[in-house]
Structure 1
Amino acid sequence: MAACSVEELLAKAEQDEAEKLKSISVNKELDLDFDVGNLLAFDKNRIESRDFREQKKEDFLRSLARDNTQLLINEIWKQPTERVEEAVVAKLPDPTTPLPREKPPPKPRPPTKWEQFAKLKGIQKKKKTNLAWDESAKEWRRRWGYKRANDETKQWLIEVPETADPNEDQFGKRVKAKKERVAKNEFNRLKNIARAQKVKLPGAGLTPKAQQSKDELGKAATVAKTSTASLGRFQDRLPKEKPAKNSGKKRKFEPLIGDFSNERQKQLELLKMLGSKKPKLDITKAVNKQMREEDREEAAARYKKGAGKKGRKGNMSGKGGKGGKGKGSKGGKAGGGKKRGKPGKH
């Protein structure tokens, strides 16, 4: 009895083990469609309603999921494999099925001002090595961070420039300059974020200070007044209030970042003018200059002609007079007049 019981137990254990370890080969009437890149398997086989009714719902769905998963795993191991840290890894191909997303894909980060300028000018970023040579330590050290190479903050002696105040603390000045650089970089970073989010930034110079000058107060008052929906058009003025100085038209300059077609055209015209052997001739200016020279020559000729006639009249009056008096003298005086001196009126 004991032997029979042991045999029955062993047979039952083998049966249970066989049920647990099912075969990796699964037979389907229609082959499944696989998208190994997304780990997807599409089963197009018909579900028999009789099997679904005879078995439990959970058992039927569990068995169907097991078979399809086994087929998907078999398809995965058909892909090329490699060993990574004592583990065999299969290389999945690119996915082919577009899957819906719960949320829209994130938009790419807009470029900063420097990135736009570098792209227009063709400036490429060069990657630096993480190590730099330290002259004082005579060894290679990190370029940034703790125990970096050529660390200025570790210097115990600083040379005072000739133009600087000898009583000025150079160490404190260096620390202050570094804090200002850090604050400037942080401010530029926040400006780039605000520009990407399309947030309007306040004007420069409006931050509160301990003591503000007259110009700063006036600028702050002007900005506050023009912050209404009508840009301060219907804002009441104070008695004896003068209009803002910066309310006129602003000068327009060429943008630093944008379309450089106008600048390119100007530079090409300048190079064309400099590269040409013959100077550029302005026809209108040349014609006007020639006309002025002709008018000047004609006026000089008329003046000489009038002076010659005046001299001949003076000689004739001198012969007929006595002692320079009489009609001849009057004629001489009259001959020197403005009306008598004009040609064509004698």
Structure 2
Amino acid sequence: MAACSMEDVLARVEKEEAEKLKNISVYKGLELEFDLGNLLACDQNPPDTRQFRKRTADEFLRALARDNTQLLVNEIWKLPVERVEDVIVAKLPDPATRLPREKPVPKPRPPTRWEEFAKLKGIQKKKKTNLVWDEVHKQWKRRWGYKRASDDTKEWLIEVPVTADPNEDQFAKRIKAKKERIDKNELNRLKNIARAQKVKVPGVGLLPTDQQSKNDLGKAIQVAKMSTASVGKFQDKLAKEKEPKNSGKKRKFQPLIGDFSAEKQKQLDLLKTMESKKPKLNITKAVNKQMREEDREAAATKKRKRSQKGRRGGFDGKGGKGGKKQGAK
């Protein structure tokens, strides 16, 4: 084995260092524009036509992408770094380029009926604290949810009301009432979603109850009749069946949230009528009333003249003319 001289070793080391520098050093006529926050590099240099002719299109594009990526990595290593769990991490600056969104901007959630009513009436939501003082346990507890303050479902003793059945389970009754409240809130939530998406919601109808009263049964019969194709027009009545209550025309009320211009005009017309000094004159009605009075006066005058004429030239009871008595000749 031939001995290597010191000059050969130094030459080989210099050659290896030059190769390493050649791999990480890239020359560009125009400097690239970097946006390190987005890991973006913009190359505005024109393509080298000589290199493009010598190589294929894929080889040229790969070499170009490699050089630009190397310049981007060189810029990243100039940033401050830190070690996190045996990994070197660079701190990227804030992005400077605004990139387009992949998906459209989500539409804002439409307000519920309560939110619209609160906005119309100026009702502001007051933020409540999450913790309240529990007088029973003498400590701060959550206002809602698990282990909340004044939780009546954790009571071991419930007083039976005077009007309630003494054999009724008050604990089961309380749990059932809570479940009904939860279901009602869920139904209102689904109704809000359907109204926001402009979907028609079918009516709830008659809800089942443990004991149905006379009014409930009458309402059930009426609903069954109205469910026919003729809307109950040709349905026969039962024996001694009374007319259903509140089956006439319903009163129509103006909505709380609607056309503000129409409501404003209605209020202005009302104020104008209240503030006017002279009452509003109906000309047609006044003319008709005057004509009836004139006809009535004409009929009364004619009747009075006829009665006066009868008294002057009338007949007596013996067949002679009335008036002056005829003397003896």
Please point out which of 275, 279, 289 is paired with 1:281. 279
In the TM superposition, residue 179 of structure 1 has moved relative to its aligned partner by 1.4
Residue identity opposite 1:146 in structure 2? Y
Q: Which residue of 2 aligns with 1:65?
A: 68
Q: Is the 8 A contact 1:206 1:220 kept in 2?
A: no
Change (3 A) 1:47 1:295: same
Q: Which residue of 1 aligns with 2:94?
A: 91
In the TM superposition, residue 145 of structure 1 has moved relative to its aligned partner by 1.3
1:183-234 CA-partner distances (Å, limit 9, x unpaired): 1111122223333444433333178999983233334444xx89xxxxxxxx
Change (3 A) 1:331 1:139: farther
Q: Is the 8 A contact 1:39 1:72 kept in 2?
A: no
Which runs of 5 or more residues in structure 1 are unaligned?
A: 79-85, 227-236, 333-346
In the TM superposition, residue 88 of structure 1 has moved relative to its aligned partner by 4.7
Residue identity opposite 1:257 in structure 2? I
Partner Cα separation in structure 2 for residue 179 and residue 241 of structure 1: 39
Which runs of 5 or more residues in structure 2 are unaligned?
A: 81-88, 237-243, 324-329
Q: Which residue of 2 aligns with 1:340?
A: none
Change (3 A) 1:33 1:117: farther
1:285-306 CA-partner distances (Å, limit 9, x unpaired): 8957984996699589859967
Q: Is the 8 A contact 2:133 2:141 kept in 1?
A: yes
Please give the TM-score of this superposition, normalised by the length of structure 1: 0.58
Change (3 A) 1:33 1:153: same
Residue 255 of structure 1: SS of its match in structure 2?
coil
Partner Cα separation in structure 2 for residue 63 and residue 87 of structure 1: 21
Residue identity opposite 1:200 in structure 2? K
Q: Which residue of 1 aligns with 2:110?
A: 110
> How many pairs does the alignment contain?
290
In the TM superposition, residue 159 of structure 1 has moved relative to its aligned partner by 5.1
Change (3 A) 1:138 1:19: same
Q: Is the 8 A contact 2:37 2:93 kept in 1?
A: no
In the TM superposition, residue 263 of structure 1 has moved relative to its aligned partner by 2.4
Please point out which of 216, 224, 234 is paired with 1:217. 224
Partner Cα separation in structure 2 for residue 68 and residue 132 of structure 1: 60
In the TM superposition, residue 69 of structure 1 has moved relative to its aligned partner by 1.7
Change (3 A) 1:262 1:29: same
In the TM superposition, residue 148 of structure 1 has moved relative to its aligned partner by 0.9
The range that moved more, 110-119 or 286-295, is 286-295
Partner Cα separation in structure 1 for residue 298 and residue 304 of structure 2: 10
Percentage identity across paired residues of the two chains:
48
Residue identity opposite 1:265 in structure 2? Q
Residue identity opposite 1:282 in structure 2? K
Partner Cα separation in structure 2 for residue 60 and residue 313 of structure 1: 139
Partner Cα separation in structure 2 for residue 176 and residue 292 of structure 1: 74
Residue 190 of structure 1: SS of its match in structure 2?
helix
Partner Cα separation in structure 2 for residue 59 and residue 66 of structure 1: 10
